[in-house]
Amino acid sequence: MFYWILKAILTPILRLLFRPQVEGLENIPEKGAAILAPSHMAFCDSVFLPLMVPRRVTFLAKQEYFTGKGLKGWATRQFMRGIGMVPVDRASGSAAKAALETGARILSEGRLFSLYPEGTRSPDGRLYRGKTGVARLALSAEVPVIPVVMSGTDKVQPLGRVIPRIHKVRIKIGKPLDFSRYHGMSGDRFVERSMTDELMYELMMLSGQEYVDMYASKVKLEMDKSGNSAPEAVAKMRNRTRLAA
């Protein structure tokens, strides 16, 4: 109930301030389970998408958002739950397994579950290689995957910024990807990679973003280690790969 109350309050505010433009809402089924697979530019992606989609959308959020102390901790916890977040312990060794189990439970209830295929925010606005979690979940739950492109959210909430800036946001929802031809092949890493690459191609075509065939998480580690920008880190990693070949 609180989800719908908060949605009724926040949606008009977001529409007034950020003038979000949403394309392709007709591609989201009126009922039944599906996975929404958005590109990831900023934390507020997880706020804009569920508020702009008529159906309830569930995202995962790190457990720390739900364990804060005092009034601030309570307010954060209520807000996260109110916008459809469920906690997952991403610091544990079984974080990926816990995330997929949570997603499978939500999908089994005929609901919409959203998972970022890149696994983390883009460090520079480009689209990075997808991880196979979305494909694995789609195979086990036998549900379609809907590509979603978020743009402008990185201007609303650049990395490290808590208070959002006023900037127009655009959401493009692509046609569902039907992977039923792969049903029964869960656990086949070649199938999962093929599905993931197909999804990332659709995201690239929807967004027009430059695609980088590297995991964003590894690029971020290189940035932290070297102090380089994302393009410099990518170039350094590519050069290292060429030298090792």
* pLDDT tens-digit readout, 99-155: 888 899 999 999 999 999 998 999 999 999 999 999 999 999 999 999 999 999 999
Contact by Cβ (8 Å): 107, 35: yes
DSSP assignment letter at 187: T
User: Looking at residue 151, what is its pLDDT?
Assistant: 94
Q: In this predicted structure, what is the pLDDT of residue 90? A: 61
Q: What was the pLDDT predicted at 4?
A: 87
What's the whole-number average pLDDT of the chain? 90
Q: DSSP H helical segments within 142-214, as ranges?
A: 153-156, 189-207
Nearest partner of 173 among 42, 31, 34, judged by Cα: 34
Round to whole Å and give the CA distance between 126 and 207.
10
Task: Flag whether pLDDT at 95 surpasses 80.
Answer: no
User: Looking at domain 2-211, what is its CATH homologous superfamily?
Assistant: Glycerol-3-phosphate (1)-acyltransferase (3.40.1130.10)
Tokens read off for 60: 């995962």
Computed on alpha carbons and rounded to an integer, the radius of gyration of the chain in Å comes to: 18
Per-residue DSSP letter, 180: G
Q: Extract the runs of DSSP E, i.e. beta strands, from 2-140.
A: 21-23, 34-38, 57-62, 85-88, 112-114, 127-128
CB 127, CB 149: distance < 8 Å: no
Domain segments of the chain as ranges: 2-211, 214-245
Q: Could you tell me the pTM of the whole model? A: 0.90
Per residue in 76-86, pLDDT (tens digit) is 888 877 777 88
pLDDT at 98 over 90: no
Q: 50-54, 71-75, 103-107, 215-219: which range is least confident on average?
A: 71-75
Contacts of 51 (CB under 8 A, 6+ apart): 7, 10, 11, 14, 83
